[in-house]
Amino acid sequence: MKSLELFAGAGGLSLGIAQAGFDRELVIEINADACKTLRLNQQKLFPHAINPIYCGDVKSYNFSRIAAEIDLLAGGPPCQPFSNGGKHKGNSDRRDLFPQFIRALRELKPKAILIENVKGLLRKSFADYFNYLILQLTYPEFTIETDETWLEHFHRLQNYRIKGRKEGLAYQVSFRLLNAADYGIPQKRERVFIIGFRSDLNLKPLFPAPTHSQESLFYSKWVTEEYWLKHQMKKPEPSPKLASKIGKMQSLLFPPEAQRWLTVRDAIRDLPDPTLGEVDSIPNHLFVAGAKSYPGHTGSPLDEPAKTIKAGVHGVPGGENMMIIDGGKVRYFTVREAARLQTFPDSYLFEGSWTGIMRQLGNAVPVSLSKLLARQIQSSLKTVKAVEHF
């Protein structure tokens, strides 16, 4: 099966899709540093995972150059127009590139689509525009007319949907807000995912069920104490409020079925402390000084999943990409630590300044979650092939 990825960034979504078994037909990215990261890993480590790469503006790419049938069109259009930390301009932001994804959808006619974006896309103030996006993905050939506003186009699309039976290209589309921590990623990262299948395939978009839970982490810490034993730590003394909750958990007849959430400590426990000196044996693992805690930016506790790794709008990405260490002090995550929180393999290298790389990581989709979603899509597409060859 072949895939094509837009807005690839550092390659988290693309790598996960490749690990799921899709063959790269094309990867498109405009950021120069992200392109260097993609090329570095293509040439040295993953020659078959990301191939080829188009480093340029997707607006100028002619999709008629793609002769192959695309099974999966994927991408994470820039999230800044809809991010809680951005300027909230939404569809009026020039960085809103959803129209380019829809253009690619219309021209390539892939069997399936996978889109990732920020939770802010579901904000009430963007409700009409989000519904408009879903309708455009559903009927990509129903295009906006010259001098027509998006609201006028939206109303025409709504009327078109109401009329019943449709002809031409159409997709069955569904969306879900997923927390990466619920799927074994050591990071609390809520993102909107959209999955769609071409209507002629008669496939219903499905999302993988969560495999991990906060409740299981709590149980592992305070009932079985397995968590502290694994990390060879003395169990902290619980507060009175926590002790009450522990008592209720101990009274459960059966332990939680899900696996426990993974924590920052789980993710980085075998990495050397970068503050103690040079760690040349570990790529992208250099200490960066200057981390400070201030209201709203307090760092991630070691024994919880990390707070969301952020790309940021200005300065140090989000000001939150740091951990809380002994005594309540904070330090920045190294690139390698942040990459682990995004489930990139240690063999994956990053190009650019620390700030630039952290921005790449903040924009990335966790590799493991990308792989899980791509496998779900692949499994559905294989049922169609099975019917075709019956």
For 193, list phi and psi in degrees, rounded to 5: -120, 135
Neighbouring residues of 79: CB distance < 8 A, sequence distance ≥ 6: 86, 117, 118, 120, 121, 311, 363
| Distance from C-alpha of 175 to C-alpha of 135, rounded to nearest angstrom | 12
Please name the amino acid found at residue 301. P
| Distance from C-alpha of 71 to C-alpha of 381, rounded to nearest angstrom | 8
SS (H, E, C) 317-372: HHHCCEEECHHHCEEECCHHHHHHHCCCCCCCCCCCCHHHHHHHHHHCCCHHHHHH
Q: Which of 173, 139, 168 is nearest to 154 (CA)?
A: 139
Residue 85: CA atoms inside 13 Å, Cβ hemisphere, count?
A: 18
What Å distances lie between residue 281 and 273, 275, 335, 349, CA to CA?
Answer: 12, 15, 14, 13
Considering the candidates 79, 108, 192, 316, report the single residue annotated as catalytic.
Answer: 79
| Distance from C-alpha of 35 to C-alpha of 45, rounded to nearest angstrom | 15
3-state secondary structure of 120: helix
Q: Which of 353, 362, 360, 373 is nearest to 29 (CA)?
A: 360
| Distance from C-alpha of 186 to C-alpha of 338, rounded to nearest angstrom | 10
318 dihedral zone (left: phi>0; alpha: psi -120 to 50; beta): left
Residue 108: CA atoms inside 13 Å, Cβ hemisphere, count?
A: 31
Angle of helix 150-162 versus helix 127-138 axis, rounded to 10: 60
Query: Is-catalytic flag, 55?
Result: no
Beta carbons of 197 and 205 less than 8 angstroms apart: yes
3-state secondary structure of 294: strand
Which residues are catalytically annotated?
79
